[in-house]
Amino acid sequence: MSASALLLYRQFKGMQTDTNLSNISVGLIDENIYEWEVMLMIPDECNFYGGGCFKARLSFPKEYPLMPPKMRFETPIWHPNIYPQGDVCISILHPPVEDKYGYELVQERWLPIHTPESILISVISMLSSPNIESPANVDAARQWRDDQAGFKANARKSVRASLEMC
């Protein structure tokens, strides 16, 4: 077994037994340590997505932890930092290279100290505090900025749809 697979196995087992992560559930897809199925049960106090149960996938590269995984929501979710097809756009999941647009500093991007747990906690935090200056979903960012009531209605639709899929 490779070093990355051993590390992921240890991190996977740790997350499965950590009682402090009651709102995060992880499993393997086809028993592949590089492909994780994730369920994020969003706490009720989370402003727009509270009560939601969102399914996502973490896909780790063989170069992990030197390179970041990719995360994609499989449950549709209306959010400025989530592309319409579900890919998550958050700084810590960007490769640790200079940003060609000069928007992010290298130290804001992927660092090998990040773990699946820290990624998922950051994504849950991102749901409440989107970055609308660098959106993945421009329409959601515009609505967040200009029409909070409409944004909340669309976010709550995402929550209801997530509960139907759970």
Task: List residues with catalytic annotation.
Answer: 89
What is the rounded distance in angstroms from the CA atom of residue 59 to the CA atom of residue 39? Answer: 14
Give yes or no for a cis peptide into 130 (omega within 30° of 0): no
Environment class of 94 (CB within 10 Å of its CB; exposed 0-12, middle 13-18, buried 19+): middle
Q: How many residues in the chain?
A: 166
What is the rounded distance in angstroms from the CA atom of residue 78 to the CA atom of residue 162? Answer: 11
